[in-house]
């Protein structure tokens, strides 16, 4: 196993010593594996699952998997992968291996044991709350890792959200521009439109809007993204007002407000503030379009108060809403209502596959930036984990148009 930097990855370098919990995790996991199309081969030669080799195999699994699952059930599988306690077998794609688990997520734990969820789930740590200060720290933890890192696996538009493919053979860059045009069309962005973008990314949407003739204001709290976005605005020859402010600090009036996959970082307790702010800033007759990752309402209710691997390692403070939760927040705190929406869930699975392929192909360049093997395994698991969720429909993503119904 690759040596793990203890100072950088203290929770990964040492296997938890909780033998009773490890045995309990093993007792729960074995029947689960035996009833889904997955085979697991252990370091000692033991095998679970299908007798005949399947396209979804894990091998070289160790007892560390059970120790980590027993210690933290919602975090342990990902940490075990980061630690090298299990791998996808040669010829098995990691996302394909995870898909049967994602497809059965609500039923992996026997129903009788689910009554103990409250005793197992950890709540979101207080330091990850999305206050103005907390949001900046949470965003910095992911988006300020390195612009060069993201350059290595994103397409030339530097779009870090679901693309919208017209066909399976369309290039990722063209599919990303189609996605952006879909958002801008929903928000009725054209010549002279006063448009606010909440969450600048690296500037692709703002550039496209400015090229349509819109008067663009875009905001971000990522200093790293802001630097590169400004460079890209200059290269594109567009006039964009980029402000390094939180959405709660914005003033003015806008004909169109857009936001792409930013609501997931808002936090449930701040959804009313987020949507009320949009409502306050939107001019009469204006339109809103947001792209939002969602999950089924019953899964949102079951997981809203828990703390998972994604929140610990990838998106601190993150929470995926349901469509119903968005509708309820709009109804209670704004004059807005959803007037159109389209799903891009399978498109996101394809997007993530391409990102993962590029990440792996360019790993040597990424490693030269100072990222280690544990980081590589963390990001490989993150991209595959999300791809599996979108491919089976456990999670989805929608472009959602909102307006004030009385204004037509």
- Residue 275 makes CB contacts below 8 A (sequence gap 6+) with 329, 330, 333, 334, 336
Laid out side by side, the sheet with 57-61 consists of 47-49, 39-42, 57-61, 87-88
3-class secondary-structure state, position 196: strand
**Known catalytic residue at 386:** yes
Q: Which of 168, 165, 198 is nearest to 182 (CA)?
A: 165
User: DSSP alpha helices (H): ranges in 39-171?
Assistant: 64-71, 76-83, 94-103, 111-114, 117-120, 132-143, 147-151
| Nearest-angstrom CA–CA distance, 273 and 203 | 25
Kindly state the tokens that stand for 189: 């962005």
User: Distance between CA 324 and CA 306 in Å, rounded?
Assistant: 19
Residues 181, 214: contact at Cβ < 8 Å?
A: no
Contact between residue 42 and residue 61 where contact means Cβ atoms under 8 Å apart: yes
Q: Which of 386, 388, 397, 402 is catalytic?
A: 386
**Which tokens hold the place of 198?**
């909440």
Query: Which residues are within 8 A (CB) of 177 and not within 5 positions of it... i.e. 6 or more apart?
Result: 157, 204, 208
- Do residues 393 and 399 touch, judged by C-beta distance below 8 A? no
CA dist., res. 106 & res. 370, Å (int): 38
Catalytic residues: 386
């Amino acid at each position: 196993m690759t040596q793990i930097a203890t100072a950088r990855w203290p929770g990964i370098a040492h296997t938890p010593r909780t033998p009773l919990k490890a045995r309990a995790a093993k007792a729960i996991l074995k029947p689960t594996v035996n009833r889904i199309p997955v085979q697991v081969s252990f370091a000692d030669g033991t095998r679970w699952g299908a007798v005949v080799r399947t396209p979804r195999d894990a091998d070289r699994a160790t007892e560390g998997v059970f120790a980590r699952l027993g210690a933290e059930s919602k975090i342990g599988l990902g940490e075990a992968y980061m630690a090298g306690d299990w791998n996808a077998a040669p010829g098995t794609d990691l996302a394909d291996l995870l898909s049967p688990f994602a497809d059965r997520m609500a039923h992996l734990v026997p129903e009788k044991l689910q009554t103990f969820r409250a005793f197992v789930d950890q709540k979101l740590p207080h330091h990850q709350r999305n206050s103005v200060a907390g949001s900046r720290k949470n965003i910095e933890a992911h988006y300020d890792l390195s612009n060069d890192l993201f350059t290595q696996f994103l397409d030339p538009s530097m779009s870090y959200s679901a693309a919208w493919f017209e066909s399976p053979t369309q290039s990722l860059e063209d599919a990303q521009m189609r996605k952006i045009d879909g958002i801008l069309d929903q928000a009725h962005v054209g010549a002279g439109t006063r448009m606010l973008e909440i969450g600048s990314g690296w500037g692709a949407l703002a550039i496209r809007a400015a090229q349509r003739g819109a008067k663009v204001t875009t905001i971000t709290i990522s200093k790293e993204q802001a630097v590169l976005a400004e460079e890209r605005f200059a290269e594109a020859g567009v006039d964009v007002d980029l402000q390094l402010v939180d959405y709660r600090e914005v003033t003015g009036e806008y004909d169109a407000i857009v936001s792409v996959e930013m609501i997931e970082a808002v936090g449930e307790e701040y959804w009313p503030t987020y949507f009320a702010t949009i409502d306050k800033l939107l001019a009469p007759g204006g339109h809103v379009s947001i792209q939002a990752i969602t999950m089924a309402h019953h899964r949102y209710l079951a997981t809203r108060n828990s703390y998972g691997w994604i929140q610990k390692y990838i998106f601190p403070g993150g929470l995926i809403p349901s469509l119903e939760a968005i509708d309820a927040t709009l109804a209670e705190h704004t004059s807005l209502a959803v007037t159109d929406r389209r799903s891009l869930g399978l498109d996101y699975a394809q997007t993530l596959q391409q990102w993962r392929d590029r990440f792996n192909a360019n790993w040597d360049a990424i490693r030269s930036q100072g990222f280690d093997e544990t980081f590589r395994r963390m990001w490989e698991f993150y991209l595959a984990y999300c791809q599996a969720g979108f491919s089976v429909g456990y999670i989805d993503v929608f472009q959602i148009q909102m307006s004030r119904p009385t204004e037509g």
